[in-house]
Structure 1
């Protein structure tokens, strides 16, 4: 990886991430796999559904239940919605490198298969059957044989499926490629934190991908991009016309450290978006995050960080009206703060 680095600007990086993350123009309804290319975190109930809505035309309250999608414990043991055909990437890709960690995951998975058979049961009950705290069952998810359904208010339902036909190393490399494409330019440290695999494992993964990476100089330091994304990163900038209500944990916002500084230069605004507790959603308008939003029932509270024009407010209200909110009857209302 000794290729000379080329420099890119903040505007180029954010534009690339919006385009790579399908946030400039909504995809056709059949593009669920593309929308979930780097996985959709669903730790806040139905956040993944709203992330799909931000990327895919015709999203409905039941789209997250499409047979093309599955729910599992993925990176950092968080709940993710991913394409069913990518199940191995987001499970085996997080399998520990050490023999002890692998053995723990495989033993738990084997015990689950033997105990559950074809049954689907609450994970608390499954933990009781195995004689372990149910949270330990998350370790078994890294084998690719455990799926869940989580409604938010109740315990997840858990069941087992056949092992995916992919090696753990291949899954890890593909997981890194997905991360580089959606979150790039990036570093091994950032990938390791996002995937929950640690720096040493992440560094080995980037070393294994060395012939596929291009070095980049950014305003927050030296980073890496996939060779295939080099030209897209350097492409001429065009004005962004998209308006999106991105939910808590959306891939565009799932950042740490210097990447947060890059996206939101003002420290007070960073503190409003990435709070110590439950994060709000982000209002994406004109290529920038310009405020936050939260929902309580059928009321969406929007707190912009700048004065919005009348047409911008109308566009935000139209976007709120289009949100596919499960269990909400009638049209959602907007409450403005600030």
Structure 2
């Protein structure tokens, strides 16, 4: 394409497009929790209450009970290790393609020193042991550890991995890889303990898709949720080598379209920038206030190369300093927020980085009420400084 043929977009248009695609401009109607997870190419679930709020806030009239029912009763969602080996809620209908795209990926030696790492051979032994142990069982992490050590050797039990206030056994370095390869997913909690099982038990008929078609599917889904974007940003999001991501984009050259975002070349997979109606829709501003829970801020900024596009001014220093809950105002991060639950009461503290207009203040009140409805509690709002750290 010649420069004159390349459609152009502004970052404001990209923000507006993302708000709509993510259900943040208006909550989705006639949809379910799995549809939200599909629209955002997975929902971060390292903190389950944050995942419940992330999905609930994108569905009209939804509560955390709806998300829990979709996960543990209907099984339209599945909790497992997704992009970058991090815990996600994924649509069960898409798990075969997710595993097809993720299973060939290797994470390399990681950040551990040599004396801590699993060797490649040990990694394969651990993944095989996990698959064998979970084939007909639902196990807690301790039960799974006993099974893995019994099938591999005492080296797997060495307490060498730094973890919170203690150390984890060596074998747990491969836990996420087992999920990415489709031999492990989360089961329902046993009391306060997390459990794991085999996706084949959880979702009868499950069979991973072939890598090539699955990776092409992942590119399309990523670009719909986070585009326009590039192979390099896709690689960072998925946890794949840039070379493999570039190959995947090249394989789709006939259907991808280049756009220019304020001088930055990027690609889309769904005709963004081609139709006059789409151009008009994405050019419209999306005013309003949104409260993004933990990890949701990361999802919102995926694919944006320059943080200042979404984190202007004071937001760059505060909101990017850790995993905080973000206050969005008119599509940009304009503050932090924190919630503390005690029984049914939910104390919500919001720290705007600049004074809110009367309209934004009213919209914030509505958002706080929505948090209370989703989380099935009674919220109380305080405007003030957020003193809790990330993840607190």
Shorter-chain TM-score bucket reads 0.7 to 0.9
- Residue equivalent to 1:290: 334
Tell whether 2:363 aligns with 1:323: no
Matched pairs, number: 332
Q: 1:124 to 1:208 in 2, by over 3 A?
A: farther
Tell whether 2:207 aligns with 1:164: yes
Asked whether the equivalents of residues 91 and 144 of structure 1 are also in contact (C-alpha less than 8 Å), the reply is yes
- Residue equivalent to 1:269: 315
Per the TM alignment, residue 51 of structure 1 is displaced from its structure 2 partner at its CA by: 1.2
Tell whether 2:13 aligns with 1:9: no
Distance (Å, rounded) in 2 between the aligned partners of 1:164 and 1:254: 32
- Residue equivalent to 1:122: 140
Distance (Å, rounded) in 1 between the aligned partners of 2:36 and 2:307: 22
Per the TM alignment, residue 330 of structure 1 is displaced from its structure 2 partner at its CA by: 4.3
Distance (Å, rounded) in 2 between the aligned partners of 1:254 and 1:145: 31
- Residue equivalent to 2:166: none
Give unpaired runs (5+ residues) of structure 2. 110-119, 150-155, 157-170, 201-205, 386-392
Q: Secondary structure at the match of 2:363?
A: helix
Give unpaired runs (5+ residues) of structure 1. none
- The 5-angstrom pairing of residues 254-265 of structure 1 reads 254-255=301-302, 258-265=305-312
Q: 1:330 to 1:262 in 2, by over 3 A?
A: closer
Tell whether 2:389 aligns with 1:336: no
Tell whether 2:288 aligns with 1:245: no
Q: 1:47 to 1:89 in 2, by over 3 A?
A: farther
Partner of residue 184 from structure 1, selected from 227, 235, 239: 227
For each residue in 1:53-89, what CA deviation from the matched residue of structure 2 results, as whole angstroms up to 9, or x when unmatched?
2211122122222121111111111110111101123
Distance (Å, rounded) in 1 between the aligned partners of 2:192 and 2:317: 30
Q: Secondary structure at the match of 1:240?
A: coil
Q: 1:329 to 1:227 in 2, by over 3 A?
A: closer
Distance (Å, rounded) in 2 between the aligned partners of 1:145 and 1:228: 36
- The 5-angstrom pairing of residues 1-338 of structure 1 reads 4-28=5-29, 30-37=31-38, 38-65=41-68, 66=70, 67=74, 68-96=76-104, 108-131=126-149, 132=156, 133-149=171-187, 156-162=194-200, 163-219=206-262, 221-230=264-273, 231=275, 234-236=279-281, 237-250=283-296, 252-255=299-302, 258-266=305-313, 268-275=314-321, 277=322, 279-297=323-341, 298-323=346-371, 330-337=377-384
Asked whether the equivalents of residues 59 and 324 of structure 1 are also in contact (C-alpha less than 8 Å), the reply is no
TM-score, normalization by structure 1: 0.87
Distance (Å, rounded) in 2 between the aligned partners of 1:39 and 1:330: 26
* Rg (Cα) greater in structure: 2
Greater CA deviation, 242-251 or 79-88?
Answer: 242-251
Q: 1:25 to 1:295 in 2, by over 3 A?
A: same
Per the TM alignment, residue 318 of structure 1 is displaced from its structure 2 partner at its CA by: 2.5
For each residue in 1:260-287, what CA deviation from the matched residue of structure 2 results, as whole angstroms up to 9, or x when unmatched?
2322233x31222222x3x112222333
Per the TM alignment, residue 52 of structure 1 is displaced from its structure 2 partner at its CA by: 0.9
Q: Secondary structure at the match of 1:284?
A: strand
Per the TM alignment, residue 167 of structure 1 is displaced from its structure 2 partner at its CA by: 1.3
Q: Secondary structure at the match of 2:271?
A: helix
